[in-house]
Amino acid sequence: MLGFKSHASYTLDDLSMNNPDMVLDMLNTLRTQLTPMARRELAQLRAIKQADCESKGLEFTDFYDWDLAYYKRTKTECTHNIDSTLIKSYFHVPDVVCRLFALFEEIMQLRFCKVDASVWHPLVELYEVWDTNEFVGHCYLDLYSRPRKYANGATFHIRSGFTRKTGAREYPVVALVTNFVQPTNGEPALLSHANLKTLVHEMGHVLHNLCSVTKWSMFHGTRVCRDFVECPSQMLENIIWTPSVLQKLGVHYQTKQPIPLCIVDAIIAAKPQVAGVFYLQKLFYAVYDISIYHSPGSHVDASLVYNTLEKNVALCNTGGIETIGAATTRQVVRGYDSKCFVYLWGQALAADMFSTRFGRDGVFNQQTWMEYRNVILRPGGSTDIMNCVHQFLGRKPQYNAFFTQIGLD
């Protein structure tokens, strides 16, 4: 009725990747590069499982999909001698938050000032955010788990910024929500590196909402086209894989000594572990999503498509067991229909921006961060975001930095 060939064609129309063919071309490019890498990684994990079974006197049959998480962790710990408990001791939540705010003041001229206010829980904190002497907005931090609280990490608009008819500014209010373990019985609240990634990722959304200045609230902050909404957060994640930044953030909660370089090196060296498998799984979900919504027929057997692609794209071995995995892919029916590719696309854009600009200019270069703030974050969804990306990069985006970032030569 609306003249679109498929549901995917309709839902992608207002995105930067605005048609299914563009999405499929991108996914095929990534698949070509990721598949050989993933096959090598799976062969390594299979050998680790086989050796493990032999050492325990167990029969080795094959390497299955459900083995992946355990042997991925085994490979990381054996290869890099990662002590997760030791790493946590250097990332005490209050210290990390304080040091993150100090970093944002250094590189983006944003000053977070804690204020006394009525909040919904005693562990929630409210901050005023200032740019030199100019007020920017408010930020709530709700970092610790408790019963009946929203279970995932997220950033919520409480109020979007906009300009009133009088010219007066309505300032944004944003809440960052995570579920870190509360400090209890004398035990401090400590973060794993994965927890730190979650915190910094959500901080990326916070900065996007705080730094955006738009006339209309509907275009404010993260209200950009869906295939860019994660990109600023994914871009900011890069700082926690940068040794000099980790050394700024990491301080032992007891001794107050900075995190040793040997631990920082171990954290960073462990990053590319089975990255091919990890991203190929994300690619599988994206291919499945676009396949069911860009199907030429009126009926789609979702389970058949899912199980076939899981085997052929994600290289999963389910031992011949047919599952109903299609019922677990909630993103495809929760606003991400035809858009599951956005995580990969955002990761590629983020890697390109960080590598191209901050890799050249330095991660603490305030001038580059201010350009990023003004060119990428400030417009929100009020302009074509890909024009902003082109302006910041000085060219069209490329995949090279993403491939290098995940360890693909």
d(CA 124, CA 147): 14
DSSP character at residue 59? P
d(CA 353, CA 402): 10
First-to-last CA distance in the chain? Answer: 47
202 has catalytic annotation: yes
Q: How many CA atoms lie within 13 A of 250 on its CB side?
A: 27
Contact yes or no for 204/232 (Cβ under 8 A): yes
d(CA 192, CA 290): 34
Nearest residue to 376 (alpha-carbon basis) of 118, 170, 108: 108
Contact yes or no for 115/152 (Cβ under 8 A): no
Show the DSSP H helices in 56-92 as ranges: 68-80, 84-88
User: CB neighbours of 343 closer than 8 A, spacing ≥ 6?
Assistant: 230, 282, 286
d(CA 310, CA 336): 19
Q: How far does CA 146 lie from the centroid of its chain? A: 24
User: CB neighbours of 15 closer than 8 A, spacing ≥ 6?
Assistant: 225, 226, 227, 339
| Residue of 202, 230, 237, 310 marked active site | 202
**Residue labelled with tokens 């929500």:** 177
Nearest residue to 344 (alpha-carbon basis) of 34, 66, 41: 34
d(CA 345, CA 342): 5
d(CA 300, CA 296): 9
* Residues taking part in catalysis: 202
